[in-house]
Structure 1
């Protein structure tokens, strides 16, 4: 079972992938679009870095641009995202986690920023479920 299938329940419509310019971000977008879900990509906005296949993304938001949180909220709707894949963490990770629906899941599979999510994101009432996912365990647990 892929990471996408593990967290994609019926009715999932709003999915966010952080670090969308990374190879893993591109693979997540590919797997999601094959299943009928066009994710919103969230990137830092590093000059010269773009998503590999723009047609797989509903939109790409840069966190170095003013108003990115509001734009993400507009794209995902008032309910928030159903699933968020995050490999960055840090302050912007906490912001994106806060935009994940209360019955949604925030999948953390990395910590590129070196700064973890605030502890309250794991325990707050009404917040999204936070799941840790290890790519290595998924790859080694999947049949060849």
Structure 2
């Protein structure tokens, strides 16, 4: 192992991702006792990576660090008692560090994958699909005939929420921001698709309120729009908040106007770190079955090699490509 090299993307100061990510080569260090070494195959660039690199979580993350919350690889070395044979495909989750040729981690954070899922789908199987599945099956107090609303429904995770909800017997209301996104839901089961840029949008929301309202809202936007959605929730309804696309938090008047609402900030990281490994593995297995059955699918735009990380970042931040940008390692 001593003669092998480690190539990694590293952040030594917080800032714009295109300015602060550097590529470096160094000798591969000795593997710490008890750790597993994963030879990475693919990684992704997610909004969560960009936000972390910007310094939004500097209170709990210090520089330098190797970014990348999502990746897939194969076991290069592992302790004998870990039951992780060399060559076993795994998702090394629970920490950053996937933008490098080798990731050293604890064996308990390496989760096995079935043969029927490709590397390119497996690498996208953690952040969005797991979040969608867990919000619908654990965060949501699900009941038969439940009416739910999903905003930013044209996003990757929005579409996953709808497809998984359909499998669970729900027919969501979808909200998009652009007219061209109204017709992208062929094959989805939806009560209706609303365009928040349309002049009649607020009237449509009031129509939904008058027809009984919604039991739950899945929100990844935040900001003042939260107040609008609060008006259509039934008494005691759920508001499951998991993103801030608006860049603004849910305003304080949200709780003053509707103190009855059951509000939840859903964080995948908190759930993962609160569970035993068999529970997490079972959920990952469920996601893999959803991928196999076509319920969950991630559109992939293209892949760049780790050595061209700057091009991958540019495509992810500035590009017009539709779908995920992968880092091929």
Which of the five TM-score ranges fits, normalised by the shorter chain?
0.7 to 0.9
Q: Which moved more, 1:81-90 or 1:5-14?
A: 5-14
Confirm or deny that 1:95 pairs with 2:234: no
Shift of 1:92: 1.9
Evaluate the alpha carbon distance shift between residue 57 and residue 139 of structure 1 in structure 2; reply closer, same or farther with a 3 A threshold. Answer: farther
Regions of 4+ moved over 6 Å:
none
- Under a length normalisation based on structure 1, what TM-score does the superposition of the two structures give? 0.83
Evaluate the alpha carbon distance shift between residue 128 and residue 51 of structure 1 in structure 2; reply closer, same or farther with a 3 A threshold. Answer: farther
Inter-partner Cα distance in structure 2 for 1:31 and 1:138: 19
Q: Which moved more, 1:82-91 or 1:6-15?
A: 6-15
Task: Say how many residue pairs are matched.
Answer: 143
Inter-partner Cα distance in structure 2 for 1:63 and 1:125: 22
> Does the aligned pair in 2 maintain the 1:4–1:28 contact within 8 Å?
yes
Higher relative contact order, chain-length normalized (CA < 8 Å, sep 6+): 1
Evaluate the alpha carbon distance shift between residue 90 and residue 65 of structure 1 in structure 2; reply closer, same or farther with a 3 A threshold. Answer: same
> Does the aligned pair in 2 maintain the 1:12–1:82 contact within 8 Å?
no
RMSD between superposed Cα atoms in Å: 2.4
Task: Report the 3-state secondary structure (helix = DSSP H, G, I; strand = E; otherwise coil) of the residue aligned with 1:71.
Answer: helix
Confirm or deny that 1:62 pairs with 2:189: no
Contiguous gaps of at least 5 residues in structure 1: none
Task: Write out per-residue CA displacement over residues 13-65 of structure 1, whole angstroms, 9 at most, x where no aligned residue.
Answer: 210000000000000001111011110011111x5445653332221101111
Corresponding position of 1:20: 153
Contiguous gaps of at least 5 residues in structure 2: 1-132, 285-329
> Does the aligned pair in 2 maintain the 1:14–1:76 contact within 8 Å?
no
